[in-house]
Amino acid sequence: MIKERISELVSNLPSGVQLVAVSKFHPLEAVLEAYGAGQRIFAESRPQELLSKVNALDTNAYPDLQWHFIGHLQTNKLKMVLPHVTLVQSVDSRHLLDEIQRWGCANGKTVSVLLELHIGAEQTKQGFHEEEIVDLLFDAANYSHIRFCGLMGMASHTDDEATIDADFDRIDSFMAYLVDLFPELEDFRQLSIGMSDDWQIALRHGATMVRIGTAIFGSRQ
């Protein structure tokens, strides 16, 4: 089942768009089944769950399996997450970025990140506002141990396609604006938008990564 869903999704993604399989609330067996179907990038949103999967995995047997972090990250949990991920998609505050920079310096590592833009209607949703991201990227040179790779966003939680379309249009336009304004940030090219219910819309707005859980693994317990 997981295998068929992955092949179906992959066949619908243009080349250059990466499928990120969101395995939160699903067991490691599901991750390994997806790996068997050719999936290589997985994402988790809770530090403890990421860590238990990483620890249970025989990493030598899966050297090319990558993890992304996509949830709200508290600075006291950095040590649980940063050694194990190739991308933190959900950097949502300057404080978090400063702490990641500090960890990178202390550990001699450069951490790849996406900046999360607040685009949906939800009041509670995490993320930066546009002007905060512009200010931050003007300071990018000060973050010696951070690789700025692009933006992540989540559309409003709604069935209304026009609203989702407008949300994704906004982040897509902002991405283009940033690429123009900061040509020196050569890695700043990734746009992570689109989940199980809205990835087709995201593809029309320049998604380079889609983060899909339910449509691969089924509903979460």
Ligand X SMILES: *Cc1c(COP(=O)(O)O)cnc(C)c1O
Where does this chain bind ligand X (CB under 6 A)? 22, 24, 45, 70-71, 154, 195-197, 211-215
Q: 130-138 and 94-107 helices cross at what angle (nearest 10)?
A: 30
Separation between Cα atoms, residue 48 and residue 50, nearest integer Å: 5
Nearer to ligand X, 75 or 126 (CB): 126
Number of H helices, E strands in the chain: 9, 8
In this complex, which beta carbon is closest to ligand X, that of residue 49 or of residue 132? 49
Residue with tokens 């400063």: 98
Nearer to ligand X, 70 or 149 (CB): 70
Q: What is the smallest separation between the CB atom of 144 and ligand X, expressed in angstroms?
A: 27
Give phi and psi for 76, each to the nearest 5.
Answer: -75, -5
Minimum CB–partner distance for residue 184 and ligand X (Å): 28
3-state secondary structure of 72: coil
Question: Which residues have C-beta within 8 Å of that of residue 157, sequence separation ≥ 6?
Answer: 120, 121, 122
CB of 215 to ligand X, least distance (A): 6
- Among residues 154, 144, 139, which one has the least CA distance to residue 192? 154
Closer to ligand X by Cβ: residue 43 or 97: 43
> In the complex, which residue's CB is closest to ligand X?
213
Minimum CB–partner distance for residue 169 and ligand X (Å): 19
Rounded to a whole number of angstroms, the minimum distance from the CB of residue 221 to ligand X is 13
CA distances (Å), 27 to each of 4, 24, 39, 220, in order? 18, 8, 15, 10
Provide, rounded to whole angstroms, the least separation between the CB of residue 46 and ligand X. 10
Helices 28-36 and 2-12, packing angle to 10 deg: 50
* Rounded-to-integer distance, Cα 116 and Cα 73, Å: 12
Q: Which is nearer to ligand X, 157 or 189 (CB)?
A: 157
| 74 or 107: CB nearest ligand X | 74
